[in-house]
Structure 1
């Protein structure tokens, strides 16, 4: 049975809604899941899990949210070879860089040895009912890759 950790940041609730839908998909499988907001997580925890799920909204013109910055920087101290990961985030198409936080997190995970096994999931603002199912499927697909 796979052991997964999900760490996310949400300001308006959009990314949290995505996280809940991904969580629903993961929990519909045999996998065990721990969910934390980034402010309550330590990077050292990532080594204790088979699978890593990160979620963040994109701030401004393509930055990570402030509450994710320390965690992001601390990830440089890790070596997560053999770990599998996915990334999701809420996005806003009114900005030039669409969902850049998702891309930044994927690049960071890959730089520390993770295999990102699914394309980053980018949802415009809050997920619709159809997108909620897409998010749940994203979670199920991740478990299938572990």
Structure 2
């Protein structure tokens, strides 16, 4: 059984909706998934990520930068070797900003720098996900599982 961590930061609830849809779908497919929020249920340590077969990291972008909830996690990534880990990055984005989903780009670059393999393209959803977007989230999670197998 594959074990996946889904960790996210959400201001308006949009990225949370995406994370929950992915986590629920992973469980429906018979795998283990832990849902964590940077705000409410953070990891004890970034080292905890090493216990998972796959990792999905979700974030919104705040003013073309990382949200404050993600900053400590981002800094702590410098202390972990993610070689051999498959990581997908996702989040709600706003085309109002000059860089669409800048936080996702920043996170993806950092985990790659730390040795992780990035799964596919970053999943960027404009503002609040609709039903079609939720299905895309499920497919994203399922694709990560297939890549791990």
TM-score (structure 2 length as normaliser): 0.93
Structure 1 alignment gaps of length 5 or more: none
Q: Which runs of 4+ in 1 moved over 6 A?
A: none
1:141 — aligned with what? 143
> In the alignment, what sits opposite 1:2?
2
Match of 2:52 in 1: 49
CA contact (8 A) 1:6 1:54 kept: yes
The CA RMSD over aligned residues, in Å, is 1.0
- 1:17-73 CA-to-partner distances (Å, cap 9, x unmatched) read 11112223322223211110013223121111111110000001x101001000100
Q: Any conservation in 2 of the 1:28–1:140 contact (CA below 8 Å)? A: no
1:66 maps to which of 65, 68, 92? 68
- Please report how far the alpha carbon of residue 4 of structure 1 lies from its aligned counterpart in structure 2 after TM superposition: 0.9
Give me the whole-angstrom Cα distance separating, in 2, the residues matched to 1:45 and 1:137. Answer: 25
2-side partners of 1:20 and 1:7: how far apart?
Answer: 10
**Pairing partner for 2:93 from 91, 94, 108:** 91
Bigger relative contact order (CA 8 A; separation at least 6): 1
The 8 Å contact of residues 24 and 139 in structure 1, kept in 2 or not, is answered as no
Match of 1:78?
Answer: 80
* Long gaps (5+) in structure 2: none
Separation in 1 of the partners of 2:97 and 2:108? 20
Moved more, 19-28 or 91-100: 19-28
Q: Helix, strand or coil for the counterpart of 1:143?
A: helix
Cα distance in 2, alignment partners of residues 80 and 7 from structure 1:
16
Secondary structure (helix, strand or coil) at the match of 1:113 reads: coil
Q: TM-score, normalising length from structure 1?
A: 0.95
| Count of aligned pairs between the two proteins | 145
Residues 23 and 34 of structure 2 are in contact (CA less than 8 Å); yes or no, is this contact kept in structure 1?
no
Provide the secondary structure at the position in 1 that maps to 2:4: strand
Inter-partner Cα distance in structure 2 for 1:15 and 1:68: 13
